[in-house]
Chain A
Amino acid sequence: MAGAKEIRGQIKSIKNTQKITKAMEMVAASKMRKAQDRMLATRPYADKIRQVMGHVAMAHAEYRHPYLEEREVKRVGIIVVSTDRGLCGGLNINLFKKTVQTMTEWRNKGAEIELCLIGNKALGFFRRLGGEVVANVGNLGDRPRLNDLIGSVKVMLNHYDEGRIDRLILMENEFVNTMSQQPKATTLLPIVPTGEQELKHHWDYIYEPDTVPVLDTLLTRYIESVIYQAVVENVACEMAARMVAMKSATDNAGDLIHELQLVYNKARQAAITQEISEIVGGAAAV
């Protein structure tokens, strides 16, 4: 019977797909572990900077850096951190949905939007959707380097300095655990002082060369490190999401093969029965 042969071909092709998804799952799992380690390695730097910054800002209440000052919002800069490659479930799409939602909110308040896109998927999405893209960087790989991000971040910081944007928002995926990644919007600029430290006795640093350049450098590095952290975290999210997506794809392929196998067996059985009955019928006719 012709059906049996076709089904056999189909099973074979699904088996091949299953092999690929299985391999991708395992690769993603091992990459995820490394990405998580890198994610943790970036923490001390940001923590330390935040600490020093909090102190400097506190000690110099009279000097207000523009990054710390709230102003009326006419234009909003949004940095979107996405992956370079697909096949990672709803990771990117969830983030883009949230981004679009944030954009609509700001537009309703009468603010214009400009975008800085990190990762190829974001570029693809906003190319279709439209939007003013001012900076873009992609192909960061599994091991993103801070140096690759400096340019794009600088564009946004420059625009903030020039007053072209009055607020800078970072759209990122938060790594909750392997099964769950949450899209999240964080306001980068202006920096809202946490005000958690209550300094009892007053002390101050000795600065070299001076307060202002030190604070400038600190704030720039801080923003960069937050964005870098988001990018590294996004790699961990990507790998986790891909692992889960590929796992379910492998399982689905298994189910499909099982069902097709049953159909194939039935078809084969039917063909044999038919043949026998034809032979018996033929013998009887003789």
Chain B
Amino acid sequence: MAMTFHVDIVSAEESIYSGTAHMLVAPAEQGEVGILPRHSQFVALLKPGEIRVKVSESGEEHHIFISGGLLEVQPHVVTVLADTAIRAKDLDEAEALEAKQRAEDALVNRRADFDYAKAQSELIEAAARLRMIQKLRKSTNQ
């Protein structure tokens, strides 16, 4: 019997690929790695690139692009935990800054969407002031 192993490629959002394979080549951070059945337990960080899954003896291959992630190898099961987008430290930092900015903006612009309670209290105050002025006018006219 030909030796095969099971391959699962999953991302946080969905399962990308699942099936048996004869060989798998993945772009690990320190160079490409090829995995054959009965590889010893292995964990590697992946960089953006192409994963090649050889599904049959005749050399039929699946090519799957991933934007980085993790590779976990057990003797008969290989799992790729793919990232959903290209990740880099400074990119993540930029995203973080943006999220903070949004929070600050949202709190500063609290008057941007209409605040009814406040508007009403202002209206009442204005009306009271108007009445006061009218009263004063009347008393001075007399």
Contacts and interface: CB of A to CB of B under 8 A. Distances in A.
Given A133-B103, A147-B84, A207-B44, A48 B10 contact: yes
A208 B45 contact: yes
A145 B45 CA distance: 22
Interface string A15-57: 0000000000000000000000010011011101100100010
Interface in A109-159: 116-117, 123, 127, 133-138, 145-147, 150-152, 154-155, 158
Given A48-B79, A133-B103, A204 B11 contact: no
Given A41-B13, A48-B10, A146-B12, A154 B28 contact: no
Tell which of A134, A206, A228, A229 has the most Cβ of chain B within 10 Å. Answer: A206
A234 interface: no
Contact of A208 (B8, B42, B93, B110): B42
Interface residues of B, number: 39
6 contacts: A38-B14, A41-B15, A147-B84, A154-B95, A208-B45, A213-B45
A194 interface: no
Interface of B: 8, 10-15, 28-30, 33, 40-45, 70, 72, 79, 81, 83-85, 87, 92-100, 102-103, 106-107, 110
Contacts of B12: 42, 45-46, 146, 221, 224-225, 228-229
Contacts of A136: 99, 102-103, 106
Contacts of B81: 45, 48-49, 52, 221
A260 interface: no
B99 A214 contact: no
Contacts of B92: 150-151, 154
Closest 7 CB pairs of A and B: A151-B95, A151-B99, A154-B96, A208-B44, A136-B103, A135-B99, A152-B99
Nearest to A49: B81
A117 B103 contact: yes
A155 B43 contact: no
B51 to A, nearest CB: 16
Where chain B touches its partner, the secondary structure class is mixed
Interface string A222-248: 001100110000000000000000000
A208 B47 CA distance: 12
B96 A151 contact: yes
Interface residues of A, number: 45
Contacts of B29: 208-209
A46 B10 CA distance: 10
B113 to A, nearest CB: 8
A155 B104 CA distance: 13
Given A49-B81, A206-B41, A208-B28, A154 B15 contact: no
Given A147-B84, A154-B93, A134 B100 contact: yes
Contacts of A44: 8, 10, 15
Contacts of A208: 28-30, 33, 42-45
Contacts of B11: 45
A134 B33 CA distance: 41
A159 to B, nearest CB: 10
A129 B10 CA distance: 40
Contacts of B95: 150-151, 154
Contacts of A134: 100, 103
Contact of A137 (B84, B85, B87, B102): B102
Given A137-B102, A154-B92, A209-B45, 6 more contacts: A42-B12, A45-B10, A133-B103, A155-B100, A208-B43, A214-B70
Contacts of A135: 96, 99-100, 102-103
A225 to B, nearest CB: 5
Contacts of A56: 43
A122 to B, nearest CB: 10
A221 B13 CA distance: 12
A218 interface: yes
Contacts of B28: 208
